[in-house]
Amino acid sequence: MAAVNRGVVELETTGSDGISVRIAEDLARLVNDSATRRVVPVVGNGSLQNITDLKYLHGIDVAIVQADVLDYAKEQHLFPGVESSLTYITKLYNEEFHLLARPEIKSITDLAGQKVNVDLLGTGTAITATRLFEQLKLQVTATHDSPQVALDKLRNGEIAALAFVAGKPAPHFAGLSGDDGLHFVSVPFDPASTSVYAPTRLTAADYPGLVRPNQAVDTLAVGSVLLAADLRQTPVRYNNVANFVDVFFTGFQSLLSRGNHPKWSEVNIAAEVPGWHRYDPAAQWLQQNAQVAGVQDPDKLKAMFSRFIDERRQSIGAAPMTDAEKNALFQQFKTWRGDQGR
């Protein structure tokens, strides 16, 4: 019995429809050693429930939560003392806001007064969609079916659109061809609205059946965060999570290799989450391994830099840069980065 429970860390995901389960599986493969360490993924019921489970459900040690839901919980005072009782291990990948609509919906403004499914109550999608529609001053009739049920209702014309937050390419949209007219709708980005969201695009490379080549769909992305429960009164579990963090951070570069989810390329384990405290063992590891934490695959860094330039210029209405211009700017960035390191 003791051997089975040795080193166990229970990691709650945001659900089975997105990519968090894959991320948890990647972490389990990295951390598990069949003797002293083991990650047990637990499929949760959404970001808000994950926060509840981290605070109150026995056994949950760490959980993946959307960054805007974390801020929402604090703003709404849903969990007294949440700022001091939960800490973050690292910021993870971005998840994209997908808005799939029927043929007659040409733009997001066409959804005024229409039924839009925003996933089950308490999910990250429900909170993100509600906040975005409020920012856009767009009145819709929200429905709360699961993504699978909503997709059937969308095809049958019972709803006008469905919203879904998930890392692209989301398995939920795999296999959709667009032959029935279903398509992604652009979502405008207001840089003054919040720092939680960032502009991004859905491309034909992400969804070849739904997005035409050279006709990318503008949308928003929201970050996800790996949170740790307050385990200071349970030393065994606290040490298990500390050991998990050490192996995760030490072996992080291996997660960028083929076979793991491509979203790992977006992760910077040293990135901070404003307004929240980092889990002490994670902060200590980063302090002691600053040079290691700063290392990143050059090709992946260049790809991320190029994507940032594209999305930033698109968000401000500027003309796209040529590859030659981006390469020259990237070289300047590398020189600046080296100067900062010295």
Per-residue pLDDT at 302 exceeds 50: yes
Please name the residue ranges forming H helices in the chain. 2-5, 20-31, 47-56, 67-75, 82-85, 124-135, 147-156, 235-250, 280-288, 290-294, 298-315, 323-341
Phi, psi of 217 (to 5 degrees): -105, 120
Query: CATH top-level class for 95-222?
Result: alpha beta
Mean pLDDT of the residues in the chain: 87
Is residue 294 within 8 Å of 270, Cβ to Cβ? yes
Phi, psi of 156 (to 5 degrees): -85, -5
Per-residue pLDDT at 294 exceeds 60: no
- Whether 2-92+226-294 shares its CATH topology with 95-222 is answered yes
Is residue 230 within 8 Å of 85, Cβ to Cβ? yes
Per-domain boundaries in the chain: 2-92+226-294, 95-222, 298-341
Over residues 2-30, the pLDDT tens digits come to 667 788 999 999 887 778 999 999 999 99
Give strand pairing partners of 202.
Answer: 217
Q: Rounded to two decimals, what is the model's pTM?
A: 0.81
| Whole-number Å distance between alpha carbons of 258 and 266 | 14
pLDDT for position 5: 76
CA distances from 13 to 21, 46, 73 (A): 6, 8, 18
pLDDT band at 174 (very low <50, low <70, confident <90, very high): confident
Phi, psi of 224 (to 5 degrees): -120, 155
pLDDT for position 306: 76
Per-residue pLDDT at 231 exceeds 80: yes
Greater confidence, 236 or 214?
236
The answer to whether domain 2-92+226-294 has CATH 3.40.190.10 is yes
Over residues 25-57, the pLDDT tens digits come to 999 999 998 788 999 999 998 899 999 999 999
